[in-house]
Chains A and B, each alone.
Chain A
Amino acid sequence: MPNEEAYEHHDYDVVIIGAGGAGLRAAIAAHDAGARTALICRSLLGKAHTVMAEGGIAAALGNVWPEDNWQVHFRDTMRGGKLLNNWRMAELHAKEAPDRVYELEQWGALFDRTAAGKISQRDFGGHRFARLAHVGDRTGLEMIRALQQRAVSLGTDVFMELTITDLLKDGDRVAGAFGYWRESGRFVVFRAPAVVLATGGIGKSWKVTSNSWECTGDGHALALRAGATLLNMEFVQFHPTGMVWPLSVRGLLVTESVRGDGGVLLNSEDRRFMFDYIPEFFKAETADNIEEADRWYDDKTNRRPPELLPRDEVARAINSEIKAGRGSPHGGVFLDIASRRSPEFIRRRLPSMYHQFKELADVDITKEVMEIGPTCHYMMGGVEVEPDSQCSVVPGLYAAGEVAGGMHGANRLGGNSLSDLIVFGKRAGEYAAAYACGLGGTRPRISESDLASAAQGALAPFRPGRADENPYTLHQELQDTMQDLVGIIRVEAELKEALERISNLQARCQNVAVEGNRQYNPGWHLALDLRNMLVVSQAVAIAALERQESRGGHTRDDYPMTDPYWGGLNIVLQLEQGTGRAEGSQELVVRRQPLPQPPPALAELLEEAH
């Protein structure tokens, strides 16, 4: 059996898996803290899903509305998350986001400016004030470039097109990671006492999704297999506005900035239907007539237009309109900015939306309405972490960004994702470095048997005699299952059916056979990604079945109301040694855990009156 010296191996203090916003920021922080740091990405550097973020970075800079401050941002975030957020993470996030944004500017990011020469801020759903620092509608690109250029200038070791398939442990502690170069298929071993997961989301398990191929829930699955816990996996955000036509681009994101900048939603009867869907919880802060809503853009003493309710509310409303037969020809509803803003304004503020519709759908958004519908967008749940350090229950294992849970509660506000990445990326990098550097001579060791089984697992799809399942076909079936049975609206019978189908797919996944060799072989890569997608999809369905209420990104047709009992509980999942199944098999065990309650001074901020 080959030992670790037989593979290419590297020694580091901190290994960061994922090079989107959170991973890059963690790498910079770990480097600054003096740790030997490796940054690993599955794609080329700068292509991570962060690049697709459009609208902006939420931070209470107070540049446009001096009344804004961290307390209001904290309140908006918690209420948007239906109060299920980890209050401490929401507090740290609101307090630290402004400094993280200024840091990007210090490193070369060029945000759009106000007339006074400050960073401009735009309106977004659920935010009381215009709060999103932005560059047109390509803010994610700006963020990833600023961070990428900073990390490169610091001389960070970057491993491009390398996929991690397993975390390695020594007893209870993290000892390193095992993976393969996509280009050659050769194995690589990282010996490191601290690993930061920054792998992003899971959206590639749904059929209509805004997510890229990388969003396969690798970090969630790696964490589970390493013994960490996942939190609130039932909360999947469906972004209200994805493209619906042509089919080729179904699910592709249409930024919330369209609504933030004045766009409105219309049904087939030309009605601004969002006025019919204002929930009790947001009544006090939402305009109930068109006149007030339209005044709000310039005068924040008015209440917010209902188009800018949090995303879960808007997505459900669109879903209801379509179901009621008031949808658009291709199964969406209409998003109109053409009749509300000048062509110059639209092209300046929304250049990539203009380009995207023109090129891919032959629609000129300065003249015509867009057809849009909900698309799977973001995972609110994730690895359970200690809020200050981002450390999981496994010593040495950290998580930041979308892969971490808690920060966004039951629903994330637009713009809070990019700020989440830089606030908690920095924290994870710092704490991981401190942990690794503080170990002294007691560093963990990798066991040869773990290496052998990691290698065996990775090569399984090449083993002869397998039953010739096509990985692409299995992936498509998983996407259909999640789309049809674990979508926006859920019900017990369908969730149970989903679990059955997933378990069937898991069995078939054992029989996936790939053609060709190990050199840059996407069929093989997908076969390995499928294992992760399946266990994470299972986690989502189990958690969705467990939570018998409707809240934020989780809507149960059979439990349509929000229930205070569940409002006090997190749903936690962990892989444990199976009982009823074959020896050695592991199964997901679900647990209800009390939600930490904020101290009185913060709790006061959450009251309805504002």
Chain B
Amino acid sequence: MSYDLKLRIWRGDATGGELKDFVVPAEEGQVVLDAVHRAQASLANDLAVRWNCKAGKCGSCSAEVNGRPRLMCMTRLSIFPKDEPVTITPLRTFPVIKDLVTDVSFNYDKARQVPAFTPAADQPRAPFTMFQPDVERSQEFRKCIECWLCQNTCHVVRDHDDNKPRFAGPRFFIRYAELDMHPNDSVDRKRMVQETQGLGFCNITKCCTEVCPEQIKITDNGIIPMKERVVDVKFDPLLRLIGRRKQQAPPSP
């Protein structure tokens, strides 16, 4: 059943912008991205929006729909009342480039800081012998499609730009966790994630987990275990006694 859908889409650039109203025909089974495409093709050819797969697999079409961070391609129009406008705004945590497109380079900078998977030098090269239960924990984190919704929603950086240099964000905490839990990785990332990547800033409010379109248990399975592992190495009473390393306070939020 086709109906007239009211859309309010934020249009503008780094210098400012505003919500613009569009009315487009909507069909049964459509998602928000269909409606945005319809507006683009017929009413605003230069409307900027990122998208690729339209199947929830690439993580490109992230935006805030009625204030909630979502993938537009996986958000059915049927979840909204037909007589109310659907409001679409760009991710708030990142600087706007144009319309719904934001500058997400923050995330790619953080990705470059992660030391790559490093198998022990004295181990034979792949193929490795690894069993399913040994790889399963890391596999959960490798489902991440890098949509940056968790990074966008995390309150540590959402309204505090100044935290960005010291904070890698949930996506990268599970990347560190993934490598830390990899059966064949030989690098100790626990101190790094605490001391330079800002794991201590996280006070486990689980906002990241709630918005993850891949349903990765970011907080419970990634961040909390990493915090525990950090405590194990940093606050080990035995190590303290022999004074192998001076303990540092975690950075305060």
Chain A residues within 8 Å of B, Cβ to Cβ: 43-49, 51-52, 61, 102-103, 105-108, 110, 112-113, 116-119, 135, 138, 140-142, 145, 149-150, 152-153, 160, 183, 212-214, 245-249, 252-253, 352, 355-356, 359-361, 470-473, 476, 514-517, 519-524
Q: Which of A61, A212, A514 has the most CB of B within 10 A?
A: A212
| Interface mask (B50-94 → A, CB under 8 Å = 1, otherwise 0) | 111111111110000000000000101000000000000000000
Partner of A102, one of B45, B52, B97, B126: B126
Answer whether A45 and B46 are a contact pair too, CB < 8 Å, given A138-B57, A248-B34.
Answer: no
A139 to chain B, nearest CB (A): 11
The answer to whether A245 and B74 touch across the interface, beta carbons within 8 angstroms, is no
The answer to whether B57 and A359 touch across the interface, beta carbons within 8 angstroms, is no
- Across-interface contacts of A183 in B (CB, < 8 A): 97-98, 101
The answer to whether B51 and A248 touch across the interface, beta carbons within 8 angstroms, is no
A609 to chain B, nearest CB (A): 32
- Across-interface contacts of A521 in B (CB, < 8 A): 45-46, 48
- Across-interface contacts of B127 in A (CB, < 8 A): 61, 102, 105, 118-119
- Looking at B128-136, B156-164, B200-208, B217-225, the stretch in contact with chain A turns out to be B128-136
- Looking at B16-24, B104-112, B226-234, B244-252, the stretch in contact with chain A turns out to be B104-112
B74 to chain A, nearest CB (A): 6
The answer to whether B47 and A522 touch across the interface, beta carbons within 8 angstroms, is yes
Answer whether A106 and B58 are a contact pair too, CB < 8 Å, given A135-B139, A520-B98.
Answer: no
Considering the chains assembled together, what is the distance between the CA atoms of A471 and B41 in angstroms? 8
**A-B contacts, 29 listed (Cβ < 8 Å):** A43-B50, A43-B52, A45-B108, A46-B146, A52-B53, A52-B58, A106-B119, A106-B125, A106-B126, A110-B182, A117-B130, A118-B129, A141-B57, A160-B108, A213-B51, A245-B29, A246-B27, A246-B28, A247-B30, A249-B55, A359-B56, A360-B29, A360-B31, A476-B41, A515-B45, A515-B46, A516-B46, A519-B13, A520-B98
The answer to whether B46 and A152 touch across the interface, beta carbons within 8 angstroms, is no
A108 to chain B, nearest CB (A): 3
Answer whether A516 and B45 are a contact pair too, CB < 8 Å, given A252-B55, A472-B40.
Answer: yes
The answer to whether B55 and A108 touch across the interface, beta carbons within 8 angstroms, is no
Answer whether A108 and B60 are a contact pair too, CB < 8 Å, given A135-B139, A519-B13.
Answer: no
The answer to whether B98 and A108 touch across the interface, beta carbons within 8 angstroms, is no
- Across-interface contacts of A355 in B (CB, < 8 A): 56
- Across-interface contacts of A150 in B (CB, < 8 A): 116
- Across-interface contacts of B117 in A (CB, < 8 A): 107-108, 149
- Across-interface contacts of A47 in B (CB, < 8 A): 52-53, 58-60
The answer to whether A112 and B132 touch across the interface, beta carbons within 8 angstroms, is yes
Considering the chains assembled together, what is the distance between the CA atoms of A152 and B101 in angstroms? 23
- Across-interface contacts of A249 in B (CB, < 8 A): 29, 54-55
The answer to whether A523 and B111 touch across the interface, beta carbons within 8 angstroms, is no
The answer to whether B116 and A49 touch across the interface, beta carbons within 8 angstroms, is no
B41 to chain A, nearest CB (A): 4
Considering the chains assembled together, what is the distance between the CA atoms of A352 and B53 in angstroms? 14
The answer to whether A361 and B132 touch across the interface, beta carbons within 8 angstroms, is no
Considering the chains assembled together, what is the distance between the CA atoms of A247 and B38 in angstroms? 14
- Across-interface contacts of A49 in B (CB, < 8 A): 52-53
- Across-interface contacts of B97 in A (CB, < 8 A): 183, 519-520
Chain B residue nearest in CB terms to A155: B112
Apart from A46-B146, A247-B30, what are 9 other A-B pairs with CB-CB below 8 Å?
A45-B108, A47-B59, A48-B52, A116-B129, A152-B112, A183-B97, A473-B41, A515-B46, A522-B49
The answer to whether B143 and A520 touch across the interface, beta carbons within 8 angstroms, is no
- Across-interface contacts of A107 in B (CB, < 8 A): 116-117
- Across-interface contacts of A522 in B (CB, < 8 A): 40, 45-49
The answer to whether A470 and B55 touch across the interface, beta carbons within 8 angstroms, is no
The answer to whether B48 and A520 touch across the interface, beta carbons within 8 angstroms, is yes
The answer to whether A110 and B55 touch across the interface, beta carbons within 8 angstroms, is no
Partner of A212, one of B40, B46, B58: B58
- Across-interface contacts of A105 in B (CB, < 8 A): 126-128
The answer to whether A246 and B29 touch across the interface, beta carbons within 8 angstroms, is yes
Considering the chains assembled together, what is the distance between the CA atoms of A108 and B186 in angstroms? 12
Considering the chains assembled together, what is the distance between the CA atoms of A48 and B58 in angstroms? 8
Task: Count B-side interface residues using an 8 Å CB cutoff.
Answer: 59
A148 to chain B, nearest CB (A): 8
A133 to chain B, nearest CB (A): 10
- Across-interface contacts of A356 in B (CB, < 8 A): 55-56
Considering the chains assembled together, what is the distance between the CA atoms of A401 and B186 in angstroms? 33
Q: Which 10 A-B pairs have the closest CB atoms?
A: A246-B29, A516-B46, A523-B45, A108-B117, A153-B116, A472-B41, A105-B126, A106-B126, A117-B129, A520-B48
The answer to whether A253 and B29 touch across the interface, beta carbons within 8 angstroms, is no
Answer whether A52 and B45 are a contact pair too, CB < 8 Å, given A108-B182, A183-B97.
Answer: no
Answer whether A359 and B53 are a contact pair too, CB < 8 Å, given A119-B127, A246-B30, A522-B47.
Answer: no
Chain A residue nearest in CB terms to B148: A44
Chain A residue nearest in CB terms to B215: A355
Chain B residue nearest in CB terms to A158: B108
Considering the chains assembled together, what is the distance between the CA atoms of A103 and B114 in angstroms? 20
Considering the chains assembled together, what is the distance between the CA atoms of A304 and B126 in angstroms? 32
- Across-interface contacts of B180 in A (CB, < 8 A): none
Considering the chains assembled together, what is the distance between the CA atoms of A575 and B40 in angstroms? 34
Q: Is B138's CB within 8 Å of the partner chain A?
A: yes
Chain A residue nearest in CB terms to B48: A520
The answer to whether B29 and A247 touch across the interface, beta carbons within 8 angstroms, is yes
The answer to whether B99 and A520 touch across the interface, beta carbons within 8 angstroms, is yes
Answer whether A52 and B138 are a contact pair too, CB < 8 Å, given A106-B119, A522-B40.
Answer: no
Considering the chains assembled together, what is the distance between the CA atoms of A428 and B227 in angstroms? 44
- Across-interface contacts of B27 in A (CB, < 8 A): 246-248
- Across-interface contacts of B126 in A (CB, < 8 A): 102-103, 105-106
- Across-interface contacts of A248 in B (CB, < 8 A): 27, 29-31, 34
Partner of B131, one of A117, A253, A520: A117
- Across-interface contacts of A103 in B (CB, < 8 A): 126
Considering the chains assembled together, what is the distance between the CA atoms of A488 and B110 in angstroms? 46
- Across-interface contacts of B143 in A (CB, < 8 A): 138, 141
Considering the chains assembled together, what is the distance between the CA atoms of A516 and B13 in angstroms? 13
Considering the chains assembled together, what is the distance between the CA atoms of A359 and B54 in angstroms? 13
Chain B residue nearest in CB terms to A98: B127
- Across-interface contacts of A520 in B (CB, < 8 A): 48, 97-99, 101
The answer to whether A472 and B57 touch across the interface, beta carbons within 8 angstroms, is no
The answer to whether A113 and B112 touch across the interface, beta carbons within 8 angstroms, is no
Chain A residue nearest in CB terms to B100: A520
The answer to whether B53 and A360 touch across the interface, beta carbons within 8 angstroms, is no
Considering the chains assembled together, what is the distance between the CA atoms of A535 and B73 in angstroms? 30
- Across-interface contacts of B40 in A (CB, < 8 A): 472, 522-523
Considering the chains assembled together, what is the distance between the CA atoms of A356 and B52 in angstroms? 16
Q: Is B191's CB within 8 Å of the partner chain A?
A: no
Considering the chains assembled together, what is the distance between the CA atoms of A43 and B61 in angstroms? 11
Answer whether A52 and B29 are a contact pair too, CB < 8 Å, given A43-B50, A113-B130.
Answer: no
- Across-interface contacts of A145 in B (CB, < 8 A): 142
The answer to whether A113 and B132 touch across the interface, beta carbons within 8 angstroms, is yes
Considering the chains assembled together, what is the distance between the CA atoms of A369 and B57 in angstroms? 23
The answer to whether B31 and A44 touch across the interface, beta carbons within 8 angstroms, is no
Considering the chains assembled together, what is the distance between the CA atoms of A470 and B125 in angstroms? 55
